[in-house]
Chains A and B, each alone.
Chain A
Amino acid sequence: MIPTEAYLILSLALFTIGVVGVLTRRNVIIVLMSIELILNAVNINLVAFSRHFGSVDGQVFAIFIITDAAAEAAIGLGIILAFFRNRETVLADEMDMLKW
């Protein structure tokens, strides 16, 4: 049986990689994908603890997080599409004017 700590360390690794991705990439789509990675790391954490305590509450919460991630990805990508149509760029550094 794999100890719960192993899953926590895996979740930490994915979370850290996601945070580094959000902070260092210029391309907004990759930032969104790194956010999805962070949410997945949290899911692994929740399901590991669900097994730790022997109840399904962690898995139910993980299902809600997946639902939330779907909603957020849809709206985020809609915003990116709308922005791309107007400014022809998807780089976060170039999205710097509040009004033109």
Chain B
Amino acid sequence: MILNQILFYFFALLAIGSAILMVTRRNIVHSAVFLISTLLATAGIFLQLQAEFLFVVQIILYVGGIMVLFVFVIMLVNLDVALRQIQFNRQKYVAAVLAVVLTAQVFFALWVVRGDPNLTKSADKMPVRNTEAIGDAIFQHYMLPFEIASVLLLVAMIGAVVMAKRRV
């Protein structure tokens, strides 16, 4: 129980700290590395929520696939002059206002339901065999979104090849 809490706070602080560092770094490669660390912390949170299949899917797809793509492109477009340019545009105040508004919204929602046991009682009981349960759900109830997702990936593949192809 205490290990559960230690792990949660460790991963949560790692995720938030890495995220803040990611959006403030001047060097893009450092930002990419901090995003990788945020994604790994998120995977830890998934494991802690007893979602083990999502934990490995996050590591294989997000960290091992999408971020490798990001790092490749960063190294192909890396400009040394970029390190000396201005990093932030002039929308800082709009962003701050928006952040405050979002935070207020969520805290308001949490405050409204704080006394209601119907809404705040957590089941905390997951199917024991997580991968099999996800497999059952995807291939029985969510078959149509699954097929649409595969068509989406096909479109993305064709689009990426066409966009990045060098026109000779």
Would A and B touch once assembled, by the CB under 8 A criterion?
yes
Chain A residues within an 8 Å CB radius of B15 = 10, 14
Q: Which residue of A has the minimal Cβ distance to B138?
A: A60
Contacts of A36 in B (CB 8 A): 35, 39, 62, 66
B22–A78 contact, CB under 8 A? no
Size class of the A contact interface (CB-based, 8 Å): 35 or more
B157 touches A74 (CB 8 A): yes
Contact bitstring A26-70, B, C-beta under 8 A = 1, else 0: 110110111011001001100110111110110110111011111
- Residues of chain A at the chain B interface (Cβ within 8 Å): 1-10, 12-21, 23-27, 29-30, 32-34, 36-37, 40, 43-44, 47-48, 50-54, 56-57, 59-60, 62-64, 66-75, 77-82, 84-85, 88, 90-93
For the complex with contacts A7-B45, A43-B54, A51-B124, 16 further pairs of A-B residues with Cβ separation under 8 Å are: A7-B49, A20-B98, A21-B22, A23-B98, A25-B23, A26-B87, A33-B32, A37-B22, A47-B49, A50-B126, A54-B125, A59-B130, A62-B51, A71-B155, A84-B77, A90-B82
Give me the interface of B with A, judged by CB distance under 8 Å.
Answer: 1, 4-5, 8, 12, 15-16, 19-20, 22-23, 28, 31-32, 35, 38-39, 42, 45-46, 48-51, 53-54, 57-58, 61-62, 65-66, 69-70, 73-74, 76-77, 79, 82, 85-89, 91-92, 94-96, 98-99, 102-103, 106, 110, 120, 122-127, 130, 133-134, 137-138, 141-142, 145-146, 149, 152-153, 155-157, 159-164, 166
